[in-house]
Structures are given as structure tokens and as C-alpha cells.
Chains A and B, each alone.
Chain A
Amino acid sequence: MKTPVSVLRLPSGPEPNSRGFDPSSPRFTALCSSSSSDDDDDDEEQQRLRSELRQRFLWTLSLMKHKLVQFDMHERVRMRARFGASDLDVLRLQVSELETPLGVQREALVRSQDVLACSFEL
């Protein structure tokens, strides 16, 4: 009976809310030129714009609740449904009375990555 090789720990996985590339890592600090104050201003402006866009997106999601929404999917498929909610990572959208080419689905989860566009009347 062979003994399994011991490991110190498992490889670390991705952080849930970050894309990584830690700026404090030795490689990053050595290879990336330090940013000037101009760059810092640009970064701040970018961050401000990003926050604004994100807020608008989240407001849109909350406004969509209970509304009739049209989803544009691949292959020119269009589906209407009553929007319920989105999950935390906006990976899945909970809808009711989803009108699909195969019939009406009373309750459904739509994979957001498959949606090209969605529209609704305010």
C-alpha cells in the first residue's frame, strides 16, 4: 500500500472580488514603473466613472423588477418575460412567464452571459 505524497497546503484560488495581480507583489513592484501623480489623477477619475456606471447599472436592475422585459439572444432569438431579480454576481436572472420559441416557461433562470441585450419600458 503506497503512501500518498504529503502536501504543505492546496494551491490558493482566485479571490472572489478581485482580478488579482497584486500591486504589492515583488514582481509587480520591480517590473512596473512607479506611477506619477498625473497617473494617480487619471486612476481616480477612471474609478469615479466606473463607480458611476456601476451605480447606474444596479439602479437599472432594481427598476426592472416586475416589468416586462425583452431579452435579445443569439441567433436572433427574442424572448419576453417578467423580470424578478438578479443574483449577486449577475450571472443568472430570475424571470417569470418566459416566452421561449418552445413555449412559455412559468418560472425560469436566464444565464446573463447568453443575453446580448435586454430592454424594457420605464
Chain B
Amino acid sequence: MILKMSSLVSMAMRQTPLTCSGHTRPVVDLAFSGITPYGYFLISACKDGKPMLRQGDTGDWIGTFLGHKGAVWGATLNKEATKAATAAADFTAKVWDAVTGDEVLTLAHKHIVKSVNFTEDSNCLLTGGNDKVLRIYDLGKPEAEPQEIAGHTSAIKKALWCNNDQQILSAAEDKTIRLWDKNTKEAVKTLSFDASVSSMEYIPDGEILVITYGRTIAFYSAHSLDLIKAVDAPASIHSASLHPEKDFFVAGGDDFKLYKYDYTTKEEMESYKGHFGPIHCVRFSPDGELYASGSEDGTLRLWQTAVGKTYGLWKCVLPEELSSENSEALYCPPAEIKA
């Protein structure tokens, strides 16, 4: 049996979450960009109306997008982290230059906007909100009227592009998730639940949909909307995220804790305390090395996937070496040990 050095370290170490302060109200949504030549980035949506951009691996603040006049309910970045989009209670969705922080576009809606999502090529923006209508904006022709898709009977909470941006997945307060064809604007499939869906994450690689409702974290095929597997957590869950390599998933909700599960066995591996309020959103970074959580307590916290590994601001310190006088000798070699 081979025990990885990293597993030995993890067993001896206690998770130290990194707290990102700056918001003054609950953090309700967060999103990572893809991996860019400058690393990856994180955007957080907050009820204080001031979404923030942070360096993804350290949590260092980069800038605040100023302009919204109400709570920001949704935020997203394009893959290259050159554009950001936000959805707010001031009845607008805004598109921003994520390098300069400048507001590029304001898209007026008829009610609170809850969700925004770019296509892979960043040319179109999907919005959804309390007016129950999905809208597709062509960012090359911002003055043109958006395409509209109606059908939901209650406020839309989340809307995502999927299946090569040919289809749209939307979750609403009407307790349904619907899969729409972008061209015909027809609902291809509908999933109904007993409870309102609290969150939805789409994993393009593998076409998996992660859905949370009540205490359940469920995984569906994004093509067929067939259930793959489901897990019940100890408390009501508001958000969950699947690791890029699909070995773990994390979830958080009402009891302020973050839960980490083995995706294959569905077993709960760890739970972490840290937040002082319910967790509203949780997402894995694009490289899977950390996950970020946003809470009612107004903070964002970064958590290590492999506890104790040297990454970002975390430094691997082997327990015996903590009392060593020669602190320069501290390192964590990725060796394997036979047991």
C-alpha cells in the first residue's frame, strides 16, 4: 500500500481557512474565472451592492465594481477574466471590464435580476430574475432587444448555458429546473421538485449538473436530466460544488459548516466550522486546489482541498519541524512512502 506524503500531512493538520473581508453585508454568490496567464480570479456578489474581484489563489482584493444601486444577487466572470457581469436588485444587469473595473454596459430589466452567465466565447449574456423571463443579450449589439424565453411561473434563481451553449438550464421558485433549446426557445425537459432548488452548478467536462434542495445534494446528467446520485446532508444546504476531477464535492448551508464528501462513495469525509452565519455559495477553484464559500456573515473564506499542502498563502509545515530552530528547512516534498 502506498501512502502519499500529502495524505500523511493532511491527517496531521487542521484546516486553516483564509478569511477575505471587505464586504459589509451577506455574500450571496461567487464565481471563479478559468485559469489565465495571470492566474485565476474570483468575483463575489454581495447585498452591499459592491461586487469585488479577487485573486483566486490568495483571496487578495483586486478591485470593487462600483455602480449598482442595490443588492447584487449574482456575479460571474468570463473564462479569461476579462469581463464580469452582475445581477442586481436595482433591476439591472451590468457588464464590466474586469481588468480596469469600468462599467461597460447596463441592461435594464423589469424586476430584480438574480442570475447572469456568459457563453464560452463571452459574446452572449444570459440573465434571469424575478420577472420570470430568461433573456439572451448579444454583447456585440447591446442596443438590440434581447431574445426572451418565457415559461417559468415564478422568479428565476439561476440560469446557465450548457451543452456547448446550445441549451439553457434554469432553476426557479416554481420548484422546477428546465432545460431549454436556445434556438427554438422551447423547454426540452423539466425536472420538478418538492422543494425550491437552492443552487445549481454546471460542469461542462462530464456534462454534470449539481443541484441542491432541502438537505439534498443531487447530481444529474446535463443532457438527459437523469439522476446520477444524491446525498443528504445533516442540515439544509444552500450550495454545493463538485471538484474538477470529480473525486470530492463540498456543500454548505444553514448550520454554518462546510461539508466535504467523497463523490464516488458519497461518504462524508470532513466538516469544517468557521463561518458565523449560513453559507450561501460554495465553489471549487478551476484547478481544484481550493474552494471558496460566501456567507451571511459578510465574509468569503478559502479552504484547502488537500489540507496542509503548500499553495497560495498556505504553507506546508511538517509537525516535527514546527519546533525546529532552523525554520528555513521547512518544506513539503511531494514524495511517496510505502507503508
Contact = CB atoms under 8 A, between A and B. Distances in A.
Interface of A: 2-15, 19-23, 25-28, 30-32, 113
B313 A7 contact: yes
B228 interface: no
B52 A2 contact: no
Interface stretch (B16-24, B162-170, B208-216, B217-225): B16-24
B14 A5 contact: yes
Contacts of A6: 16, 314-315, 317
A19 B98 CA distance: 12
Interface of A is mostly: loop
Contact of B60 (A3, A11, A19): A11
Given A5-B314, A7-B314, A28-B99, A20 B16 contact: no
A21 B99 contact: yes
A5 B38 contact: no
B99 A4 contact: no
Contacts of A25: 62
Contact of B16 (A5, A30, A31, A113): A5
Contacts of A3: 12-14, 317, 319, 322
A14 to B, nearest CB: 4
A13 B54 CA distance: 9
B278 interface: no
A11 B18 CA distance: 7
A19 B63 contact: yes
A25 B20 CA distance: 20
Contacts of B53: 20-21
Contacts of B38: 26-27, 30
A21 B63 contact: yes
21 contacts: A2-B12, A3-B12, A4-B13, A5-B15, A5-B16, A5-B304, A5-B307, A5-B317, A6-B16, A6-B315, A7-B16, A7-B315, A11-B58, A13-B21, A14-B52, A20-B53, A26-B38, A27-B38, A30-B38, A31-B99, A32-B100
Contacts of B60: 11-12
A53 B250 CA distance: 48
Contacts of A22: 62-63
B20 A21 contact: no
Interface in B302-339: 302, 304, 307-308, 313-317, 319, 322
A2 B100 CA distance: 43
Contacts of B322: 3
